[in-house]
Structures are given as structure tokens and as C-alpha cells.
């Protein structure tokens, strides 16, 4: 546990953000390794199937994960106020919610998977592989929710290192299982999905055993969990807008897949790989914003609001330097990076164009997310939701559709930085109003 209410703001946020960043990079390596193994050893069709599955998976998970993030803010503010009893009640409530939500999500996902892929106009030859990958992943989603919920709780308590250790272990297990199931047992795309679920499940169970033996606050006792309606209401108030935002983002990804799919298998595969790379590149911004959110939550809970602005400025400077560095790497080595995933030259060239366009504008995405971090830490999650919806559904998706009709798939790629630009401008204007300071829980 880490008290973020005392000490140098920038140093605290950096030390808190780095383990989160490393953890998310390792977590994304699940998907990156899956894509490399699929692209190199199974083929372009399978690579397109995994890429098409990802936004659908994200859609099913996003609302629940977003709602759970509200518990992180509640935990951080109660922890900042030193109300440990309320912290424990929030943890219990979160796990009960995640358990029942995961069962519902699994059933719905498996029942409607094939219909969803047909609705998205996925090429018929790709649907069987996409359905196989998706159904196996959804069958084990309770393990993914368990581990992500545990990580969210620890972050709310100021502990960003413990989740990292388990993620590193599980990532190496995932790589080993991928190679074993695909190269040795020849299980194809099903082996890749099973490897991911086994690795995430191992990480969750290891975390449960370790925390039960060592942690002062967290004790997993599935029999004695108690649901607190008032705390759940607070978590919903904060988390639901974030969850809806994530759901709209996920639906936006599906809408973009619907726009991309008619361009054929090579464009689908290139888009799948390039968006994975872009996701990795965006993690510094997202993790610094999450760290800032916990910092803001604890300091507001401790009635130290004067530290919030200093933390915001420090976070913006650090994350901007990283964003510029990441953009430089992407722009210089976009071709070789694409080549790590596939040997198909057409896919590499299409993906390179995507990365060269989108990679130049990570600074806009970074600034927008850091501003969102301040608002969410204060408990104001509604306005970030509206801004995200405008940037995605009013700007990016219509822009992608219109530009693609004139410029082909290049127009889809350009719609992303245009949406980021609008989102940043709206977020900064709202930050300057100061209205987000009025949404505090405690």
C-alpha cells in the first residue's frame, strides 16, 4: 500500500505509474504474442480472425470493467480518508459484482458469437476461426475478471507493483503455452485462446494465494463476502459513466471493423496488427492517467486539494515526453515492427501506412487522457464519457466512413487523429472551468 498524500507529486506519480505501465505492457503481450504466433505459424486468415474477435471481446468486457473502475476511485478516497472498514466493504462488493457479471457475459457471448460476426460482415471463410477463438476466451472470462478486479483493488490502495509480478509470470506462461499448443500439439487458433485463459487464470489464483498470506487488508474468503448496497451505489455512480464510455468505445471499434471488413482479408489483418501496436503505444498515457486518478482520489480524500494541480502538471510533462519518444520509434521503424507479426508484404505495407499516420499524433491522445485522469480521480466521470462519445461517434466514425469512400482505407486511418484532436480540445476547455472539483464523494 502507498500513501500518495505526502511527498513530491511528480516522483510519487512516476513511481506509481511505472509498475502499472509495465504490468499493462505484459498484459498486452498476451495479445501481441497471440498475434505473432497466429500470423507467423497459422496464417493471414487466422490473424484476421483474432483481430476481428478483439473488438467484440472488448465490447462484452468493457462495461463491467468500467463499472469496476468506479470501485477503484471509491477505494482510493476511503483509503486517503483512512476509513479501512469502508475499504474492505468496497472490496467485497466488487468481487460479488464481478462474479455474477462474468457468468452473464460468458453465456451471452457464447450464445450469439456467430451471429455477431455475420452482422459485422466478416468474410465467411474467417468466421469459424473467429468464433472458435472468441468462444474459448469468453468461457474463461471469469478468470480474467478476477485478476483485473484484484489489480484494480491494489491500485486503489496505492500498490501498483504486486499485480506486475503476477503478470510477468503469467505472460511467460502464455508464451510457453502458445508455442506448445500451436507448434507441438498443432491445435491452431483454439490453442492460442486456451493458452491465454490458462495464463490469466494462473495469475489470478497465484494472486489470491499470495495476498491471503501476506496482505493486511485484502483477504479472499468467498464464503464470507458481504454486499454493501450503499457502496455499490457510489461505485455505480462513478463507474457507470466510465463503463458506458468504454462500451461506446468498444462499439465504436466494432463500427470501425464494419467499415474495414469490406476492404478484404489483407486490410483486416493489417488493421488488426496495427491497432495492437497502437494499443501498446497508448499505454503510457493510459497508465499515467490511471496513476494520476488514484493520486487525485487520495489527496481529495485527505483534503489536500492543493496537490492536485501540481500532480496534473507533473504527469502531463512526463507522459508527453514518453508520447513523443514513442511516436519517433513508431515512425522510424513501422515497417520492421509490422514484420514481426506477419510475412505477408501486402499486410506489412498497409499496416505501415496506418502506423505512420496515427503514430504522429500520440501527444494529443496523451494530453486528453491525462486530463480525464484528473476528472475521474475527483469523481467526475460523466463529462469524460460525453467527450469520448463525441470524439468517437460524432467525429471519428462518420469521418472514417466518409473519408474511406474517397480515399480508401487511408481515410479510416486519418479519422483517428482527427477524433483525438476534438477530444483534447473539449477536455481542456472543461478542465479550465473547474466544475470537476464539485463531484467529490467524501
Q: How many residues does the chain have?
A: 442
Lowest-pLDDT range, 21-35, 125-139, 408-422? 21-35
Residue 4 in domain:
no
Structure confidence at residue 404 (pLDDT): 92
Provide the angle, in degrees to the nearest 10, between the axes of the packed helices 229-260 and 409-433: 150
Do 106 and 139 form a contact (C-beta atoms < 8 A)?
yes
The separation between CA 191 and the C-alpha centre of its own chain, rounded to angstroms, equals 23
- Tell whether the model's pLDDT for residue 165 goes beyond 90: no
What is the grid cell recorded at 395?
467525429
Closest CA to 442 of 228, 315, 290, 296: 296
Please state, in angstroms and rounded to a whole number, the distance separating the CA atoms of residues 267 and 126: 13
Structure confidence at residue 194 (pLDDT): 92
Closest CA to 22 of 330, 381, 284: 284
Do 267 and 345 form a contact (C-beta atoms < 8 A)?
no
Residue 127 in domain:
yes
The whole-model pTM stands at 0.68
Structure confidence at residue 162 (pLDDT): 79
- Tell whether the model's pLDDT for residue 331 goes beyond 80: yes
**Sequence-ordered list of residues with C-beta below 8 angstroms from that of 162, at least 6 positions apart, any chain:** 154, 207, 210, 211
Structure confidence at residue 31 (pLDDT): 67
Half-sphere exposure of 111 (CA within 13 A, CB side): 7
Structure confidence at residue 353 (pLDDT): 94
Residue 1 in domain:
no
Rounded to a whole number of angstroms, the CA Rg of the chain reads 21
Residue 88 in domain:
yes
Phi, psi of 302 (to 5 degrees): -90, 5
> What's the chain's average pLDDT?
83
Lowest-pLDDT range, 89-103, 149-163, 305-319, 364-378? 149-163
Do 208 and 220 form a contact (C-beta atoms < 8 A)?
yes
Residue 163 in domain:
yes
- Per-residue DSSP letter, 303: T
Residue 371: which pLDDT band, with cuts at 50, 70 and 90?
Answer: very high
CA dihedral for 28, 30, 35, 37, sign (positive or negative): positive
Structure confidence at residue 222 (pLDDT): 67
Residue 202 in domain:
yes
398-427 mean pLDDT: 93
Residue 2 in domain:
no
- Tell whether the model's pLDDT for residue 374 goes beyond 80: yes
Do 211 and 159 form a contact (C-beta atoms < 8 A)?
no
Based on the structure, what is the number of domains in the chain? 1
Residue 3 in domain:
no
Structure confidence at residue 397 (pLDDT): 94
Structure confidence at residue 349 (pLDDT): 93
47-72 mean pLDDT: 78
Please state, in angstroms and rounded to a whole number, the distance separating the CA atoms of residues 160 and 409: 39
* 345: helix, strand or coil: helix
For 326, the domain range is 9-439
Amino acid at each position: 500500500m502507498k500513501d500518495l498524500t505526502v511527498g513530491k507529486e511528480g516522483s510519487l506519480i512516476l513511481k506509481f505509474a511505472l509498475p502499472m505501465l509495465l504490468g499493462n505492457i505484459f498484459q498486452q503481450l498476451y495479445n501481441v504474442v497471440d498475434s505473432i504466433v497466429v500470423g507467423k505459424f497459422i496464417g493471414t486468415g487466422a490473424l484476421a480472425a483474432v483481430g476481428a474477435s478483439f473488438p467484440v471481446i472488448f465490447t462484452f468486457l468493457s462495461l463491467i470493467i468500467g463499472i469496476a473502475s468506479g470501485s477503484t476511485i471509491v477505494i482510493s478516497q476511503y483509503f486517503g480518508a483512512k476509513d479501512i472498514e469502508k475499504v474492505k466493504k468496497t472490496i467485497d462488493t466488487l468481487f460479488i459484482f464481478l462474479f455474477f457479471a462474468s457468468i452473464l457475459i460468458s453465456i451471452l457471448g457464447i450464445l450469439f458469437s456467430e451471429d455477431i460476426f455475420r452482422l459485422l460482415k466478416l468474410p465467411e471463410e474467417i468466421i469459424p476461426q473467429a468464433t472458435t477463438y472468441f468462444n474459448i476466451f469468453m468461457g474463461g472470462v471469469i478468470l480474467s475478471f478476477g485478476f483485473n478486479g484484484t489489480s484494480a483493488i491494489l491500485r486503489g490502495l496505492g500498490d501498483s507493483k504486486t499485480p506486475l509480478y503476477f503478470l510477468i509470470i503469467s505472460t511467460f506462461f502464455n508464451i510457453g503455452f502458445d508455442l506448445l499448443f500451436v507448434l507441438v500439439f498443432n491445435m491452431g487458433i483454439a490453442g492460442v485462446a486456451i493458452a491465454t485463459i490458462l495464463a490469466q487464470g494462473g495469475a489470478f489464483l497465484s494472486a489470491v494465494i499470495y495476498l491471503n498470506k501476506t496482505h493486511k487488508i485484502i483477504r479472499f474468503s468467498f464464503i464470507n463476502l458481504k454486499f454493501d448496497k450503499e457502496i455499490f451505489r457510489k461505485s455505480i455512480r462513478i463507474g457507470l459513466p466510465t463503463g458506458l464510455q468504454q462500451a461506446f468505445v468498444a462499439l465504436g471499434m466494432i463500427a470501425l471493423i464494419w467499415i474495414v471488413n469490406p476492404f478484404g482479408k489483407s486490410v483486416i489483418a493489417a488493421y488488426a496488427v496495427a491497432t495492437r501496436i497502437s494499443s501498446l503505444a497508448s499505454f503510457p498515457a493510459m497508465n499515467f492517467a490511471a496513476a494520476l486518478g488514484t493520486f487525485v482520489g487520495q489527496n481529495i480524500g485527505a483534503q489536500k486539494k492543493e496537490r492536485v494541480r501540481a500532480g496534473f502538471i507533473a504527469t502531463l510533462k512526463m507522459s508527453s515526453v514518453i508520447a513523443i519518444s514513442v511516436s519517433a520509434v513508431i515512425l522510424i521503424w513501422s515497417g520492421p515492427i509490422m514484420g514481426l507479426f506477419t510475412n505477408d508484404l501486402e499486410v506489412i505495407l498497409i499496416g505501415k501506412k496506418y502506423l505512420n499516420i496515427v503514430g504522429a499524433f500520440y501527444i494529443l491522445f496523451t494530453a486528453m487522457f491525462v486530463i480525464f485522469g484528473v476528472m475521474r480521480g475527483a469523481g467526475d466521470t460523466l463529462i469524460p464519457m460525453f467527450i469520448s462519445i463525441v470524439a468517437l461517434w460524432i467525429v471519428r466514425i462518420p469521418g472514417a466512413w466518409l473519408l474511406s469512400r474517397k480515399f480508401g482505407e487511408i481515410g479510416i486511418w486519418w479519422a483517428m487523429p482527427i477524433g483525438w484532436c476534438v477530444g483534447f480540445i473539449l477536455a481542456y476547455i472543461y478542465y479550465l472551468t473547474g466544475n470537476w472539483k464539485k463531484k467529490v464523494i467524501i
